[in-house]
Amino acid sequence: MRVKNRLSVLVLLMCCALFACQCSQLETASTRERILFNEDWKFYKYESVEQADSLIYDIRPAIGEVMDNKDADSRPTAPVQMETKQIVLKPWVLPTANKFIKDDANKHRRPHGNPGSDFAFVQADFDDSSWERVDLPQDWAIKGPFQVGWNSEVGGGMGRLPCNGVAWYRKKFLVPQSDHGKSIFLDIDGAMSYAMVWLNGSLIGGWPYGYNSWRLDLSDYLRFGEENQLAIRVDNPNHSARWYSGGGIYRNVWLTKTNKIHVGQWGTYITTSQVSEEKANVHVEVTIDNDLLENVSVACVTEIYPVDCNKQEVVPIGLLLQKVKIKGKQSATIKESVIIDHPQLWNPLPKGEAHLYQAITTVMQNGKILDVYETNFGIRKIEFDADTGVLINGEYIKLKGVNQHHDLGALGAAFNSRAAERQLEILRDMGCNAIRMAHNPPAPELLDLADRMGFVVIDEIFDSWEKKKTPHDFHLIFPEWSEPDARSFIRRDRNHPSVIIWSFGNEVGEQYDGKKGAKVGKRLYDILKEEDPSRPTITAMNFAKPYMELPAVADFIGLNYQGEGIRQDTFFNGVDRIRTKPQYDAFHQEFPNKVIISTETASAFSSRGVYLFPVTSKTSSYVRNGIGGDTNRQQVSSYELYAVDFGSSADKVFKSLETHPFVAGEFVWTGFDYLGEPTPYYLSRSCYSGIIDLAGFKKDRYYLYQAHWRDNYPMVHILPHWDWPDRVGKITPVHVFTSGDEVELFFNDKSLGKKKKKKYEYRLRWDNIIYEPGEIKAVAYKNGKVWAEERMKTTGEAAQLMAEVDRKVIKADGKDLAFISVKVCDKNDLLKVNALHRISFSMEGPGEIVATDNGDPTDMESFASTSRKAFSGRCLVVVKGIKGQEGTMVVKAESDGLKPARIIVRTEK
């Protein structure tokens, strides 16, 4: 059925009303149930990998003497070939991938036998009472302890936390007799990593890659009307990533119950075309699985509504109906289109009117509703132009993006929606409108947030292909899993309006491999295109040049650091590393029809509140001891001029983007500090590249981006702080960031004159100020009018703690979080940036302290500690309520000799 115009919509709505009447007479009793399966697991982790059982997925090459303090742009190397006669469980796990393997000849058959069935942990009668009771999502490593030193087992690269190791999760659950005859699935949004699942003693499958979501059909192994025993083995290798992976089942787990005839896993695919404010074509594909042996005939109707309306009271604005025959144990896909008049468009930030629709798909047979499946989607018109970049709904948007790893700082890898939302809010206020999911698919809920808040997303799947960056990374499973991982990645995420580009690789070793490497890329490219022809693809390249083979493969050119040039300073003369002249023009010339995006820029470093002298007179510099860096303290200066050897300061990137307006925009490495990869100080726990620190506190750089990205938002920001008792009489440069165009600086009420931003200048510098205590005041102007004002004063003695909370009321669901920022202040409420006081946190009422942090990359105190030293005057404490308990939590922060602070947070059902 097709709706052609407004009139036919009306006709259809009448039909729809009719249909609704029929529906009300239909039997609707038991359709789909999606049950959150997170609570009440038993957990056991072996003390060491050596002690673990031998139920391994596959053997792995020895690590050898590898150090994980290699620079990120070290050349990836060839895999090590391994063979074994040992029994490995891979053959029993591989069939889980079959739905995501196109060619029948490549699908896997389950071998005979049932490995592990005699192992104690998979038995129902095994006594797990001494195991830890946990709720998911869980990151087993985040509480530490941190492993310090050069020779720790888990090094700086993976965040010095015990994320490696082998562990088991067990759960008993009852499936009622009434569910007999249904299909019952276990849906795991992410388990880190090499998960293998036994149900009632049988190994039923698993999924090695920790970042993908996956499903197991439990139906044939369940005991209906009885208790069932689930046992999941997770085995996360050391040296499997260049960053902190987290460990364990760190995303949501669901039990999904459907009729035997049901919409398949991620079984809808919704695209739009010919989108305008007047109308839009919506194309809906629905794949229905028939898990019965016999052939069936069903009807399928999809209704479309605005996402948040009350569906009982509103008539659908689009409706599609089709009949289909499905053979036994097969699937069938139906395709339909509908025209929606005057659609509410999905508009990204800064507009952020990100309207969403919901498609409700109903599968019926002989007057019975068998399944109801909901899909959120958005209607937007995206155009890409190699000369101008990205247009959404006809409006040009420069990509002002950041890269984000998946960890949530002190909360680790365990996904928490509120923690992710807070990150996005802070980024949005900075003027950021785009996220690159570096370098792997995120939790599905993060894309829901991006959809609702209006961020655009580059969704990315791999950091390595066949070649390896670390000894145990994805390359080990690339041959068998690259296809299923790539297909399942797209199928899960392809209805999100926020996702505008698929990325299938980051700085892969195949860049160096000419035709051979390009062939590997082309195979992945074709898979992506088969799964979603509606979106362009990209790979992020830090080495490949325009004349090489890999750049020709993807639709777009993704450049990491190459636009600004890599290691161009004469300091790097003679160094045997990537050295590259600025590449935007060369790529644009070679590929005049390909959009260019700077998938990674900057990788600039800083430690919040730390300022080191002297300050470079350049606009961008590498970091060394005494040049922006302090090897003893392991901190980098917040003058925000220093970057990784192959990177550039924000200022330098801004200029290179402005002088190459065809570049669609940038993704800064990174929005937030993340755990692991602590270049340039390997002994630290977390990185220095965030615009915002690990605790969520803004570094000075935040204001540099805000000034440039939100030029209509009145702001001015001064650095450094003005508490330098040991710098009296010494040169102490003052830098000012503003969205205005001119600044007058006052030092102890004396004007130091006005400075105007010149073309391609993004900060105003007073580099010769001789420090003395007092006050620095900056008055910013825009077009000759006062625009914003800020003062920085010398503070008095530390006298008090002050606290503020991001939200005063949170949900009493045991998941929602309140983020309380505590600062050390003098009696006039001025922040003491030099303060390092130890602060203790306590709480009364129906809640608990989840974690504390201070954003210091060198702090090795467990995130679970309720006491922490302030770093640059600040600390963070994260609290949550108790499920089902409404009330008032009182959180107290205390420190010797200081007036304490108290914050009240209410929890509501």
Binding site for ligand GAL (CB under 6 A): 72-73, 242, 438, 506-507, 542, 560, 600, 603, 644, 669, 677, 679, 689
Name the residue nearer to ligand GAL (CB basis): 600 or 651.
600
Give least dist CB 459 to ligand GAL, A. 16
Give least dist CB 603 to ligand GAL, A. 4
| Residue 23 neighbours by CB distance under 10 Å | 15
Give least dist CB 154 to ligand GAL, A. 17
Going by the DSSP 8-state scheme, the letter that residue 628 receives in this structure is E
Name the residue nearer to ligand GAL (CB basis): 265 or 464.
464
- How many contiguous H segments (helices) and E segments (strands) does the chain have? 9, 51
Going by the DSSP 8-state scheme, the letter that residue 615 receives in this structure is P
Give least dist CB 435 to ligand GAL, A. 15
Q: How would you class 445 by CB atoms within 10 Å of its CB: exposed for 0-12, middle for 13-18, buried for 19 or more?
A: middle
Name the residue nearer to ligand GAL (CB basis): 431 or 505.
505
Cis previous bond, 680, omega within 30? yes
CA distance 847 to 816: 11
Name the residue nearer to ligand GAL (CB basis): 345 or 687.
687
Give least dist CB 679 to ligand GAL, A. 6
Name the residue nearer to ligand GAL (CB basis): 397 or 461.
461
Cα dihedral 435/437/443/447 (nearest 10): 30
898, 882 contact by CB (below 8 A): no
What angle do the packed helices 650-658 and 700-709 form, to 10 degrees? Answer: 20
- Show the 3-state SS of 726-783: HHCCCECCEEEEECCCEEEEEECCEEEEEEECCCCCCCEEECCCECCCCEEEEEEEEC
Name the residue nearer to ligand GAL (CB basis): 506 or 638.
506
Question: Which single residue brings its beta carbon nearest to ligand GAL?
Answer: 72
- 352-to-349, 448, 453, 671 alpha-carbon distances in Å: 4, 14, 6, 19
* 3-state class percentages of the chain: helix first, strand second, coil last, to nearest 5: 15, 35, 45
Name the residue nearer to ligand GAL (CB basis): 92 or 672.
672
Name the residue nearer to ligand GAL (CB basis): 524 or 566.
566
Cα dihedral 804/808/813/817 (nearest 10): -20
CA distance 19 to 168: 49
CA distance 636 to 642: 8
Task: Please name the residue ranges forming H helices in 494-558.
Answer: 514-531
600 catalytic per annotation:
yes
The count of residues in the chain is 909
Give how far the C-alpha of residue 172 lies from the chain's centroid of Cα atoms, to the nearest Å: 31
Name the residue nearer to ligand GAL (CB basis): 498 or 560.
560
Which of 421, 600, 666, 861 is the catalytic position?
600
Question: Using only C-alpha atoms, what is the Rg of the chain?
Answer: 28
Residue 399: both structure tokens together: 């990509």
- What's the maximum distance between 2 C-alpha atoms anywhere in the chain? 89
Q: Which of 421, 349, 429, 353 is nearest to 390 (CA)?
A: 349
Which of 303, 460, 480, 507 is the catalytic position?
507
Give least dist CB 158 to ligand GAL, A. 13
Give least dist CB 666 to ligand GAL, A. 14
880, 810 contact by CB (below 8 A): yes
Residue 142 phi, psi (nearest 5)? -70, -25
Q: Which of 402, 413, 313, 321 is nearest to 360 (CA)?
A: 321
761 catalytic per annotation:
no
Give least dist CB 285 to ligand GAL, A. 34
Helix (H) or strand (E) holding 708: helix 700-709
Angle at 850 between CA 848 and CA 851, to 5 degrees: 140
| Residue 305 neighbours by CB distance under 10 Å | 18
Amino acid at 775: E
395, 454 contact by CB (below 8 A): no
Name the residue nearer to ligand GAL (CB basis): 605 or 781.
605
Give least dist CB 207 to ligand GAL, A. 23
Q: Which of 557, 451, 563 is nearest to 500 (CA)?
A: 451
Give least dist CB 428 to ligand GAL, A. 23
Which is it for the CA torsion 216, 217, 223, 227, positive or negative? positive
Name the residue nearer to ligand GAL (CB basis): 73 or 861.
73
CA distance 621 to 610: 17
Strands 874-881 and 817-825, how do they pair? Answer: antiparallel
Give least dist CB 389 to ligand GAL, A. 22
Name the residue nearer to ligand GAL (CB basis): 72 or 175.
72
Which is it for the CA torsion 471, 472, 473, 477, positive or negative? positive
Give least dist CB 561 to ligand GAL, A. 7
795, 830 contact by CB (below 8 A): yes
Name the residue nearer to ligand GAL (CB basis): 71 or 387.
71
Give least dist CB 477 to ligand GAL, A. 20
| Residue 713 neighbours by CB distance under 10 Å | 15
So which residues are the catalytic ones?
507, 600
